[in-house]
Amino acid sequence: MLRILLVTDEMLIGGVPKHVVDLANGLHEKNIFVIVASTDGSSRSKLHPDIPFIELHLLKANSYKKDIIGTLLTILRLQSIITHYNINIVHTHKRFSDAIGRLLALRNNIYHVSTCHNYFADNKIISFFGYTTIACSELIHQNIKQRYLSKSVKTVYNGIKPFKRFNSTEIRPVKNKYNISPDHTIISSIGHLSLSKDRITLLRAISLVKDKEYFKNIVFIIVGEGEQLNMLQKLAHELEIEIFIRFFPSDTNVEEIINISEFMVLSSVQEGLPFVLLEAASIGKCHVATNVGGVSEFVKNDSTGILVEPKNPQSLADGIEKLCLNPDLALLYGKNAQLLYSRQFTYDQFIDDTVKIYNSTFNNK
């Protein structure tokens, strides 16, 4: 019988915590015993109440800084959990948790599965991947095999439950809620305000089109929090685009924002396969996105969206302009993205494929 311990660094708002919560809930729905262990955070609230949660202190509260003393206590705590609940698979997410998972797996002679959520272009040549590593895109799969010489790597695409598609009568009160005129066209960008998301290039792209006639009725919503917020607000002022930009916190209702948006923008320089691509596509909304990581495995250029060069404000501005001037094209790309989502990126497929890997690992180690 499978008894799974999911371990990750933190439960702050973001792609990895969402992945862990969705996976835990999906396993619970299939009556598979699962426990989640992590530094606490707001994403924990979406975990099914019947799933045990073990609070760790791998990181300092509400930050991404390591807690060394907390880490030592974490290892002892997880050892106790593995023994008490007779855990037979520890599934880790993020490098810090991977190292702890490897140690515990060796100590207890149990199975270690790890998920790699991002494309590594850095010089960290040591990573403690599991006996089986799950890659969330084919590019990440190849990156792991080539950089780390890992043999047992499987690709399992992220999958989500579809968002609700709002009708026209539902959209108006949402715009009112965010103090946006019904006549304004909304474009949105969702994600942490960090270097990897490169909102600097996004703001510079907006500055290149701000004086064009079609952009007068545009409101650009940026949802997220992080260390770059003050700098980005200052840059928006310097570029004289404040009138077009709204910064919303990370706990803003993403389903509402995507529904009132004509299309989305992803300006990242490093990604795995971000959930926001799937969330938008689930209700027929496309992305102008930078061609990094596994993004191109979902955003097919001039089919399910527009791919542009990273760190290139003009390229990003051109993509935004193309969809602003051709709203029917944005609708077509959105429909195509929705079809791709329904074929390959559903929640049920994500859960089923992960369980198959658990069974294969358990039977073949």
Q: What is the pLDDT, as a whole number, of residue 217?
A: 94
Q: What is the mean pLDDT of the segment spanning 98-122?
A: 90
As a whole number of Å, the end-to-end CA separation of the chain is 15
Q: What is the mean pLDDT of the segment spanning 301-319?
A: 98
For 326, residues 6+ apart whose C-beta sits below 8 A from its C-beta are: none
Q: What is the pTM of this model?
A: 0.93
Rama region for 109: left / alpha / beta (φ>0; ψ in -120 to 50; rest): left
User: Hey, which of 52-61, 145-154, 315-324 has the most confident mean pLDDT?
Assistant: 315-324
The answer to whether 203 touches 239, Cβ cutoff 8 Å, is yes
Name the pLDDT band for 121 (thresholds 50, 70, 90). low
Residue 124 has pLDDT above 60, yes or no: no
pLDDT per residue as tens digits for the range 226-264: 999 999 999 999 999 999 999 999 999 999 999 999 999
With CA atoms as reference, report the closest residue to 90 among 110, 70, 115: 110
Residue 95 has pLDDT above 90, yes or no: no
The answer to whether 308 touches 289, Cβ cutoff 8 Å, is yes
Q: What is the pLDDT, as a whole number, of residue 61?
A: 79
Q: Which CATH number describes the domain made up of 3-159+346-364?
A: 3.40.50.2000
Q: Which residue has the tokens 């809930």?
A: 25
The answer to whether 279 touches 254, Cβ cutoff 8 Å, is yes
Least confident of 116-130, 163-177, 230-244, 344-358: 116-130
**Percent over 90 (pLDDT), the chain:** 85
Q: What is the mean pLDDT of the segment spanning 336-359?
A: 97
Tokens of residue 266, six digits: 């992803």
- pLDDT averaged over every residue in the chain: 94
With CA atoms as reference, report the closest residue to 337 among 295, 308, 365: 295
Q: What is the pLDDT, as a whole number, of residue 122?
A: 58
Burial class (CB in 10 A: 0-12, 13-18, 19+), 211: exposed
CA distance 345 to 322: 27
Q: What is the mean pLDDT of the segment spanning 158-176?
A: 96
Residue bearing the bigger pLDDT, 119 or 237: 237
For 32, residues 6+ apart whose C-beta sits below 8 A from its C-beta are: 2, 4, 355
Q: What is the pLDDT, as a whole number, of residue 365?
A: 55
CA distance 93 to 134: 10
**Percent over 70 (pLDDT), the chain:** 96
The answer to whether 265 touches 276, Cβ cutoff 8 Å, is no
Q: What is the mean pLDDT of the segment spanning 150-155?
A: 84
Q: Which amino acid is at 69?
A: I
Name the pLDDT band for 64 (thresholds 50, 70, 90). confident
Q: What is the pLDDT, as a whole number, of residue 123?
A: 53
Q: What is the pLDDT, as a whole number, of residue 302?
A: 98
CA distance 288 to 266: 6
Q: What is the mean pLDDT of the segment spanning 167-194?
A: 96
Q: What is the pLDDT, as a whole number, of residue 149?
A: 64
Q: What is the pLDDT, as a whole number, of residue 113?
A: 96
CA distance 171 to 149: 50
Residue 48 has pLDDT above 90, yes or no: yes
Q: Which CATH number describes the domain made up of 168-344?
A: 3.40.50.2000
Q: What is the pLDDT, as a whole number, of residue 164?
A: 98
Q: Is the dihedral angle over the CA atoms 234, 239, 243, 246 positive or is it negative?
A: negative
Domain layout of the chain by residue ranges:
3-159+346-364, 168-344
Q: Report which secondary-structure segment, H or E, holds 233.
A: helix 229-238
Residue 125 has pLDDT above 70, yes or no: no
Enter the DSSP assignment of 178: T
pLDDT per residue as tens digits for the range 264-299: 999 999 999 999 999 999 999 999 999 999 999 999
Q: What is the pLDDT, as a whole number, of residue 145?
A: 85
Name the pLDDT band for 74 (thresholds 50, 70, 90). very high
Q: In what order do the strands lie in the sheet with 53-56?
A: 53-56, 33-39, 3-10, 89-93, 111-116, 132-135, 153-155
Question: Is there a shared CATH topology between the 3-159+346-364 domain and the 168-344 domain?
Answer: yes
Residue 63 has pLDDT above 90, yes or no: no
Q: What is the mean pLDDT of the segment spanning 101-123?
A: 88
With CA atoms as reference, report the closest residue to 54 among 90, 96, 16: 90
Q: Which residue has the tokens 């993020």?
A: 94
CA distance 118 to 16: 10
